[in-house]
Structure 1
């Protein structure tokens, strides 16, 4: 297998996993095997992440940099999410009088 660029690998990941709702994980060995590389740098990971973010997909790693995660990114401000969550909690015990009849 020939060595592929970060851009090529990012597009391959997008095409294979864009329909996966919860995301997938890859090990360092998986990436080496899929890209034809013997090793790769954090710059390579950043380039993959940069390419995928245009499609709302993040490519991130854990602190040991042994496992990498491909996850969906949702563009919802945190305040909006909190308001929605508190509205659910506020009215979770309210029952409509119309539904009792």
Structure 2
């Protein structure tokens, strides 16, 4: 039975060079880790380990597919904040990005 750290190391060495990422099926993960079953904690532990290498490891809601991918380095505002606050109020109502209201003026 491979630990999350061992599996993460294997993923990095064997699949880490794929820029677009890859997916594995549930059976792939069971076969590669030599496990009969695993919990979400195992997936989170693998994610923690590969995140140190700039990668992510997540699953879908049914835990049928598992995704290994490169973590982005671009902050969302660089790509997603096209209209600065107050610059074009008629467009702000169409955006789905809103400031979070804070209590006591703290962010």
Would you say same fold, with TM above 0.5? yes
Shift in Å, 1:81: 1.8
Counterpart residue number, 1:29: 27
CA distance in 1, matches of 2:53, 2:79: 22
Residue 51 (structure 1) aligned with residue 49 (structure 2): yes
CA distance in 2, matches of 1:29, 1:82: 37
Shift in Å, 1:82: 3.2
CA distance in 2, matches of 1:28, 1:82: 34
CA distance in 1, matches of 2:15, 2:27: 18
TM-score by length of 1: 0.77
TM-score by length of 2: 0.72
- Matched residue count: 83
Residue 75 (structure 1) aligned with residue 73 (structure 2): yes
Shift in Å, 1:65: 1.1
Residue 17 (structure 1) aligned with residue 20 (structure 2): no
Provide the alpha-carbon RMSD of the alignment: 1.5
CA distance in 2, matches of 1:68, 1:82: 27
CA distance in 1, matches of 2:61, 2:44: 14
Give the unaligned 5+ runs of structure 2: 84-107
